């Protein structure tokens, strides 16, 4: 699976996980939208569809839109008009030092790893995360969710699973007694 990061030029280079992965030669950085491969899956938080295992059949690459979470609003027009297959990652918890414990606010490395895991590339996901001190923690914290998402039959099922995980254990146990 080929990995690309569109660099919007908004991240702190010292903290940017995409820049680290590029320095290690594990991903390719792209600086213009038109250079994003046409048959890639672009991971963007505002996509209308969730990433699901069947998406693997349509691509051999993943592209993250690497921009600052504080600046995501300024990128929305570009993201919405991009003529590529866009997918959002489902509910996962960040463990990177900048956004530890925050749901959905993943670093580029976490996004790549989650997408790879969901698409069946678990070893590749683990290898990428191995480049970060906190990488194993990401898999540990999100293990149950990642396994469930990776076994979903489609995007709709991923959304249903996401809803269950977001409700939390208390809500799930309440349902069991009804």
pLDDT for the residue 33:
80
Helix (H) or strand (E) holding 105: none
Question: 15-53: per-residue pLDDT in tens?
Answer: 789 999 999 999 999 988 888 888 899 998 878 899 999
In the predicted structure, residue 77 carries a pLDDT above the cut 50: yes
User: Which residue's entry shows tokens 């938080």?
Assistant: 45
CB 86 within 8 A of CB 49: yes
Q: How many domains does the chain have?
A: 1
Enumerate residues 6+ apart whose C-beta is below 8 A from 21: 3, 5, 27, 108, 109, 112, 128, 131
- Cα separation values, 124 from 2, 16, 63, 106, 120, Å: 11, 20, 15, 18, 9
Enumerate residues 6+ apart whose C-beta is below 8 A from 156: none
In the predicted structure, residue 174 carries a pLDDT above the cut 70: no
The sheet with strand 85-87 has its strands ordered as 28-30, 2-7, 61-66, 41-43, 85-87
Helix (H) or strand (E) holding 174: helix 155-176
Length, in residues, of the chain: 178
As to burial, measured by CB atoms within 10 angstroms (0-12 exposed, 13-18 middle, 19+ buried), residue 140 is: exposed
Q: Are strands 85-87 and 61-66 parallel, antiparallel or unpaired?
A: unpaired
Choose among 153, 151, 125: nearest CA to 139: 125
- Read off the DSSP letter of residue 50: B
In the predicted structure, residue 122 carries a pLDDT above the cut 80: yes
5-14, 36-45, 104-113, 135-144, range with the lowest pLDDT? 5-14
Q: Three-state DSSP class for 143?
A: helix
Domain that holds residue 63: 2-176
């Amino acid at each position: 699976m080929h990995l690309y990061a569109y660099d919007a030029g908004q991240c702190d280079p010292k903290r940017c996980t995409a820049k680290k992965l590029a320095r290690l030669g594990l991903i390719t950085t792209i600086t213009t939208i038109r250079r994003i491969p046409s048959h890639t899956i672009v991971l963007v938080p505002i996509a209308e569809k969730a990433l699901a295992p069947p998406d693997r059949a349509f691509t051999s690459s993943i592209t993250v839109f690497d921009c600052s979470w504080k600046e995501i609003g300024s990128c929305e027009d570009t993201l919405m008009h991009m003529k590529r297959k866009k997918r959002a990652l489902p509910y996962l918890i960040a463990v990177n030092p900048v956004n530890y414990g925050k749901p959905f606010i993943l670093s580029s490395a976490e996004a790549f790893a989650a997408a790879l895991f969901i698409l069946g590339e678990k070893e590749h996901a683990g290898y990428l995360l191995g480049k970060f001190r906190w990488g194993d923690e990401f898999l540990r914290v999100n293990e149950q969710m990642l396994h469930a998402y990776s076994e979903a039959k489609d995007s709709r099922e991923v959304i249903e699973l996401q809803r269950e995980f977001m409700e939390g254990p208390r809500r799930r146990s309440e349902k069991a007694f009804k």
